[in-house]
Amino acid sequence: MKKLMSLKRKKVHNRKCCKVSWCNELKAFNANAFCETHQQYKQYASNATVRPWLMYKIEKVVNNDLICEHCGLDMIKHYKNANLKAIITAMDVDHINPLIKGTPEGEQPSNYQLLCKMCHIIKSYEEGDYTPKIHKNDNK
């Protein structure tokens, strides 16, 4: 019975917290899923409830931290005259460990890295993301 009660309490607590898995803030008043901060970010990523890594990307944009975490390319310094939206589009959030993507552990900032498109393409190719599943074992 105690175990059931603790599960119920956790469930209630989770419904009151921001849906962003690494945020411990309470939901904003009249908000369905997010705290005040992430509710503001939602306007830039309306599908963030099903794609949590978008909130990570927005946090990087807000902190003016658009540097490829692999090659070190600082997109803002390198493309001084470029439109910010174009720079943001040129960056991808990569799951460091793709095997845990979609799990609570996999959808944390510790499993995300912001990469330029070129680094992301190369990493994805090396991991076999472009290989059809029926041929993945053939390449090893």
Q: CB–CB of 52/20 below 8 Å?
A: yes
Return the ∠ at Cα 132 (arms to 128 and 133), rounded to 5°.
85
What is the pLDDT averaged over residues 106-110? 93
Using 50, 70 and 90 to split pLDDT, how confident is the model at 4? Answer: very low
The single-letter DSSP state of residue 116 is E
Statement: residue 3 has pLDDT above 50: no
Whole-model pTM over 0.85: no
pLDDT digits (tens, 9 = 90+) for 25-38: 988 877 778 888 88
Statement: residue 119 has pLDDT above 80: yes
C-alpha torsion angle, residues 118, 120, 124, 130 (rounded to 10): -60
Residue 67, helix vs strand vs coil: strand
Q: How many whole angstroms separate alpha carbon 100 and alpha carbon 80?
A: 36
pLDDT digits (tens, 9 = 90+) for 46-100: 777 788 889 899 999 989 899 999 999 999 999 999 988 898 899 999 999 988 9
